[in-house]
Homo-oligomer: A and B are copies of this chain.
Amino acid sequence: MPAKALTIAPGRLIKTIHETAQFGAKFAWGSASTETGVCRLALSDEDKKVKDWFYEETKKLGCEIKIDEVGNMFAIYPGKNTGPPTCMGSHLDTQPTGGRYDGILGVLSGLEVLRTFKDNGFTPNYPVGVINWMNEEGARFPQSLMASSVWAGLQTKEEIYKMESVTDSKPVTVKHELERIGYLGDIPANYEANPIAAHFELHIEQGPILEEQKKEIGIVVGVQAYVWYNVIVKGKAQHTGTTPLNSRADALLTASQMVVKANEIAHKNSGLCSVGILNLEPAVANVIPNKVSFTLDARHETDQGLATIINELKEEFELIAEKGNGSKTSKPLKVEFEHIYTSPAVHFNEKCIQCVEESSNALFGEENCIKMISGAGHDSCSTSARVPTGFIFIPSKDGVSHNPEEYSTPEQCENGFKTLLNAVIKYDELRAIGEA
């Protein structure tokens, strides 16, 4: 049976999405039962429920289900040949004020691929699996891509076992919660001991590009590099009424000039610079702030581009601080950079990109698909370090995400699923002829 002849069950995917949203449905924003967000924190009771549900549904399809030592679930549908499965994966955990699509779409579309195989009596050349990665969000336990990064050998299971929750009044550890909900499995959490052949992920864009450009599918070729700094500006606290402009060392005025400059530098270098947190001291209406600290989130498609942005930021901020507020008696202000985290650029696998591109172009026409990079990190960043990885975006309404009103239409979700289905079949075919 040629793959293109597979019959799909229209509407079943979106029905499944809304069905699983019962596990944590919260924050109604409309009158329909489907118009709520979802709060399903990693390893919570609600997360256990959806994991149990996922186990049962994949079991019904004849899958072998592996639970690894950090709570990742691998549901593997058999192929004609044995070998590592071609996988589809994402996550079923959500942000505290999450929506119905972030991560969920990827796992349930993978499930829908397997259901379609089953409905059509289709057997792939090699096993095909669906992975539900544990704690992608990093909300309850504050580290994103947590369990996929353990699987990829980017950190040890011991490191994450001891991490404590930040959303419980009495913090509990990851290991405690894995045991409590029965998902501390015995399969090694390791890409060598529990290998997969490839990883495909379908995800909502969480940004406005596809919607603005009226495209159906984003063929994601990589994930931009980013760095986080904490920037500290030190001036002098003085009375707002008695201190002439020329005698000030106003840390907020200087920090404001930096925020504006960072935006200019981002424009100039086709990158992104954003300030999400800003605190000042002493925070009194009639006192000029002597200290401002702010987070600086800088991103670029390439590591080199990001390095250029960082260099310019540091040089320009120094100049702004040295110049001060035109003060005669005050010293120049000081600026310090505290490095928080750097995430290098990710480049997805050419064969996987090719499979996604051929699939989406055939389904929706080249004019309705674009190659793009992802602004945010996903579990595929972890897998990409070890196995060929491909990534697909569908549009997000107004670019909204991490919000109960996160939305993609049923048609957009189904478009993503169909692209995933055919991309995985193409990759399976490439494996069969020894080209992947």
Which A397-434 residues sit within 8 Å CB-CB of chain B?
398-403
CB of A216 closer than 8 Å to a CB of B: no
Which of chain B's residues have a CB closer than 8 A to the CB of A247?
207-209, 212, 399
Residues of B within 8 A of A224 (CB): 241
Chain B CB within 8 A of A226 CB: yes
Q: Which residues of B contact A400 (CB under 8 A)?
A: 238
The residue of chain B having its C-beta at the shortest distance from the C-beta of A212 within the complex is B329
A239: contacting residue among B207, B283, B286, CB under 8 A:
B207
Q: How far is the CA of A256 from the CA of B275 in the complex (A)?
A: 11
Q: Does A143 contact B (CB under 8 A)?
A: no
Select A375's contact among B207, B243, B267, B398, beta carbons within 8 Å: B243
Give chain B residues whose Cβ lies under 8 Å from the Cβ of A401: 239, 242
Docked pose: A278 CA to B224 CA in angstroms: 31
B328 lies within 8 A of A274 (CB): no
Q: Is A68 an interface residue (CB 8 A)?
A: no
A276 an interface residue at 8 Å Cβ cutoff? yes
Tell me whether A374 and B242 are in contact in the complex, defined as CB-CB below 8 angstroms, given that A256-B260, A278-B280, A285-B295 are known contacts. Answer: yes
B376 touches A241 (CB 8 A): yes
Determine whether the beta carbon of A239 is less than 8 Å from that of B376. Answer: yes
Q: Is A193 engaged at the interface, CB distance under 8 Å to the other chain? A: no
Q: Is the CB of A208 within 8 A of B329?
A: yes
- Report the separation of the CA atoms of residues A255 and B294 in the bound assembly, to the nearest whole angstrom: 14
Judged by a CB distance under 8 angstroms, whether A107 is at the interface is no
A: contact size bracket: 35 or more
B260 touches A245 (CB 8 A): no
Asked whether any CB of chain B lies closer than 8 Å to the CB of A206, the reply is yes
Closest residue on chain B to residue A327 by CB atoms = B208
Residues in B whose Cβ lies below 8 Å from that of A357 = none
Each complex incorporates copies of this chain amounting to 2
Within 8 A of B (CB), among A116-153: none
Question: Which one of B212, B257, B277, B283 lies within 8 Å of A285 (CB-CB)?
Answer: B277
Q: Across the interface, which residues of B come within 8 angstroms of A40, CB to CB?
A: none
Establish whether residues A208 and B274, one from each chain, have CB atoms under 8 Å apart when the complex forms: no
CA distance A243 to B259 in the complex (A): 17
The answer to whether B260 and A276 touch across the interface, beta carbons within 8 angstroms, is no
Would you call B274 and A288 a contact (CB within 8 A)? yes
In chain A, residues 368-401, which have Cβ atoms closer than 8 Å to a Cβ of chain B? 374-377, 398-401
Q: Which of A237-257 contact B (CB under 8 A)?
A: 237-245, 247, 250, 252-253, 255-257
Smallest CB separation, A325 vs chain B (Å): 8
The chain B residue sitting closest to A226, CB to CB, is B241
Check A100 for interface membership: any CB of B closer than 8 A: no
Check: A272 CB closer than 8 A to any chain B CB: yes
The answer to whether the Cβ of A287 comes within 8 Å of any Cβ in the partner chain is: yes
The answer to whether the Cβ of A266 comes within 8 Å of any Cβ in the partner chain is: yes
Q: Which B residues are in CB contact (< 8 Å) with A272? A: 240-241, 243-245
A347 within 8 A of B: no
Q: Is the CB of B297 within 8 A of A239?
A: no
A-B contacts, 10 of them at CB < 8 A, read: A239-B401, A240-B276, A241-B375, A242-B375, A244-B272, A245-B272, A247-B399, A256-B256, A278-B280, A329-B399
A interface with B by C-beta (< 8 Å): 205-209, 211-212, 224, 226, 228, 237-245, 247, 250, 252-253, 255-257, 259-260, 263, 266-267, 272, 274-278, 280, 283-289, 295, 297, 299, 325, 328-329, 340, 374-377, 398-403
